[in-house]
Each structure stands twice: as C-alpha cells, then as structure tokens.
Amino acid sequence: MIVFPAIDLRHGRCVRLRQGRAEEETVYGDDPVAVAVRWVAQGAEWLHVVNLDGAFGEQIGDFRRPINLQRLAEIQAAVPQTPIQFGGGVRSLADVETALDLGATRVILGTVAVQNPDLVEEMIGRFGSERIVIGIDARDGQVATHGWLRTSDTTAITLGQAMRSKGVSRIVYTDIARDGMLTGVNVEATAALARATGLQVIASGGVASLEDIVRLGASQPTGSGSAGRIEGVIIGQALYTGAVSLPDAIRTARNPTES
C-alpha cells in the first residue's frame, strides 16, 4: 500500500480539521511548502493536498489564482519529482485543467460525482482514469457533499458502483465521523467498498496507529472476480501530532503482514 501524507490547506496555511468542521481547526504551519518538503524528505511517495477553501466555497486571495492554488504550484515546484493528489472544490473541466496545469498528478472530484455523473464520464474521457479520482466521503454510510456540509440519500457503495460504470478506476473513501479524531480507520467499510465496486480504494479518516495500516493490509479483498483492492491510506492528524511517524508508516504499508 501507498501512504499519502495529507496537507490540508485553509487560507494558505496547513491545518487539520476534526470531522471536517471549519470551527474545529488546528493550524500546523503557515508554510505548507516546508511541510511538503519534510514529508518527502521522510520518504513520501505521494502527497495528498486538499483545498479546504474550495470545498467550503470560499474565495481567498486573487480570484485569478486563489491562495491555495498558489500553494499547490509552490509545493509542486519544491518537490517536482513527487506526484500530488489534489482535491477540494473541483467541480468543472476548467477546475481540473487548472489543477493539472499547476502541478497536480491526480485530481479528486467529490460533489460533482453526485450532482453530475455524466460530467465525470466526460472528464475520464478527456483526462483519463489515472488523472481523475472520486472522493467518496460518507457519514453513517451516506455520501456527504459541499465540504461535508450536506448529506445525500446516496450510499457510498451505490455511488462507487455508479462511478465504475462511468470509467472511474480509483476512489478515496473517508469516514467523516473518524476524520481527524484518531479513533482508528474504518477498515470494514473500506474493504466492503473495494469488494462491492471492484475499484482501487484509498482509505482516509481516523488513522491512529500503525495497527490501522496492518488491519487494512489484512483486509484486502481476495478471490477471483474481485478487482478491487485497498491501494493506500491517507494519514493526517496522526502524523502532525506525532502519534505515527511517516517512515514507520511507509515501512508498515509496504509489508503489513510482517508488522
């Protein structure tokens, strides 16, 4: 599995939220570029960068290039050999093009997948399935949108299956109740989503210890006919608080059965 260190951007700073709540914000630095350089120096193979301003519908900075998009460009320039997975408020072809132009390797779509699945199919056709990732963020199994402020009637599995039919190959699955809480990743729901959809799933939300990574590795879907797998895990709060070290997480993810 791949470990994705999370860099969540709000008003240009590196922050962490609890359960996606703007009022539950902890600032971990005014220099996200320095954070990115640190994670790469510790062995990060990918970075997971989120534009929280975009997710919340906020406009901070020059309208031609909001501050968090400027931070994306700065991060890419600082660690040009490290691929970046980027999301937050990406809801149009132009948004995807902008993110890719600024250095993102993959772009995550969330709200648009629920509201306009045909547009997702168009994006896959234009950019390819390796460049487009669907973010499925769930609260009690129901998909949340608009920066997690609204909960839809669609289940995570239903949306995942619909996205596969549109050509999607990879999703990021977040259990909102666990995000930023250090209560342990929802291994069961993550594995069930991979089995039911046949997609590559990146787990997110609640990683508290190396044991979460071990459990994810032990829960890989098996058997013929199951193309789905748990491809990786996003770690945020646990890295910033020191509960987990990135080098240890990477070693465990590469060989979870030996940990």
Burial label for 222, CB within 10 Å (0-12, 13-18, 19+), is exposed
Query: Beta strand pairing status for 200-204 and 170-175?
Result: parallel
Q: pLDDT (tens digit, 9 = 90+) per residue, 17-71?
A: 766 566 666 788 889 999 999 999 999 999 999 999 887 777 666 656 799 999 9
Q: pLDDT (tens digit, 9 = 90+) per residue, 187-223?
A: 999 999 999 999 999 999 889 999 999 999 999 877 6
Give the max Cα distance, the chain. 51
Q: How far apart, in whole angstroms, are the C-alpha atoms of residue 212 and residue 203? A: 10
Which CATH class name applies to 2-258?
alpha beta
Take residue 162 and report the two structure tokens written for it.
């619909």
Q: Is the dihedral of CA 247, 248, 251, 252 positive or negative?
A: negative
Query: 98-110 burial, b if ≥16 CB within 10 A, otherwise e?
Result: bbeebbbbbbbbb
Q: Is the pLDDT of residue 77 over 70?
A: yes
pLDDT at 181: 62
User: How high is the mean pLDDT of the chain?
Assistant: 89
What are the residue numbers of the active site?
8, 137
